[in-house]
């Protein structure tokens, strides 16, 4: 299964994501430049962390106009898996692929440390191999990671089981301790913690690998289903 890692000017976790996929997950991955109008037929897309376009206007606000984001939106509309990590989460929110906003951290300081996350739902392609309530340790590194949404949106996220991760120890003031959410179709997820930086025990935690493994598991299953359908006989060719 081929993963595509989008690279914006200012991305700084693109190689981390590429390494996690190729070396820790054992799958092929390629970089996709921000001005590309095509995703080159990849099976899943990762929007990595960093500071796209320097985040001079607002985190992710300029990146949403990149040509590649039209391709990402089309890919998501067709059911493709899209994972946004940190700045990638901010880009997904700014692009309208996910609701809410990411604001300045509660203490107005950049936070960089390992944090415990709780898996709130396994009913997503990104957490299907995790356990409900499982605690995962992953690092955060952001200055604007405080998730905010109005009450109606928060209620909808909760009622539709779309809060994927919550902080066990909230580092940034995110409402409802939200660390990651998914869209209504459940094929797009954004999260502030970095699973790619927790994909090898040498990094202090390999807990983040469950996110990538879940994605791969979903892709393999969907591929098997497509092959199964492809070999079914054409009903019009079957005679009683």
Instruction: Give catalytic residues, as residue numbers.
Output: 86, 194, 196
Residues facing residue 166 across a β-bridge:
118, 178
Give residues with Cβ within 8 angstroms of 175, minimum separation 6.
146, 147, 148, 149, 154
In degrees and rounded to multiples of 5, residue 123 shows phi and psi of -90, 50
Query: What three-state secondary structure class fits 146?
Result: strand
| Alpha-carbon span 33 to 47, nearest angstrom | 11
The answer to whether 84 touches 96, Cβ cutoff 8 Å, is no
Longest Cα–Cα distance of the chain, Å, equals 73
In degrees and rounded to multiples of 5, residue 188 shows phi and psi of -125, 125
Structure tokens at 205: 């935690």
């Amino acid at each position: 299964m081929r993963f595509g890692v989008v690279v914006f000017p200012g991305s700084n976790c693109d190689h981390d994501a590429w390494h996690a996929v190729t070396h820790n997950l054992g799958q092929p991955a390629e970089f996709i430049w921000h001005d590309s109008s095509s995703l080159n037929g990849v099976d899943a897309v990762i929007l990595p962390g960093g500071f796209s376009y320097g985040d001079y206007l607002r985190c992710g606000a300029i990146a949403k106009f990149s040509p590649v984001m039209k391709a990402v939106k089309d890919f998501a509309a067709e059911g493709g898996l899209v994972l946004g990590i940190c700045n990638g989460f901010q880009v997904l929110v700014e692009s309208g692929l996910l609701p809410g906003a990411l604001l300045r951290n509660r203490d107005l300081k950049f936070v960089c440390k390992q944090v415990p996350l709780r898996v709130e739902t396994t009913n997503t392609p990104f957490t299907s191999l995790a356990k409900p309530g499982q605690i995962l340790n992953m690092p955060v590194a952001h200055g604007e990671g405080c998730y905010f949404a109005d009450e109606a949106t928060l209620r909808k996220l909760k009622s539709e089981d779309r809060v994927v991760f919550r902080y066990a120890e909230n580092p940034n003031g995110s409402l409802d301790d939200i660390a990651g959410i998914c869209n209504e179709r459940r094929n797009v997820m954004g999260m502030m913690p970095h699973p790619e930086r927790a994909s090898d025990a040498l990094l202090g935690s390999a807990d983040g690998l469950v996110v990538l493994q879940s994605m791969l598991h979903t892709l393999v299953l969907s591929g098997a289903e497509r092959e199964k359908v492809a070999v079914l006989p054409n009903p019009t060719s079957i005679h009683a």
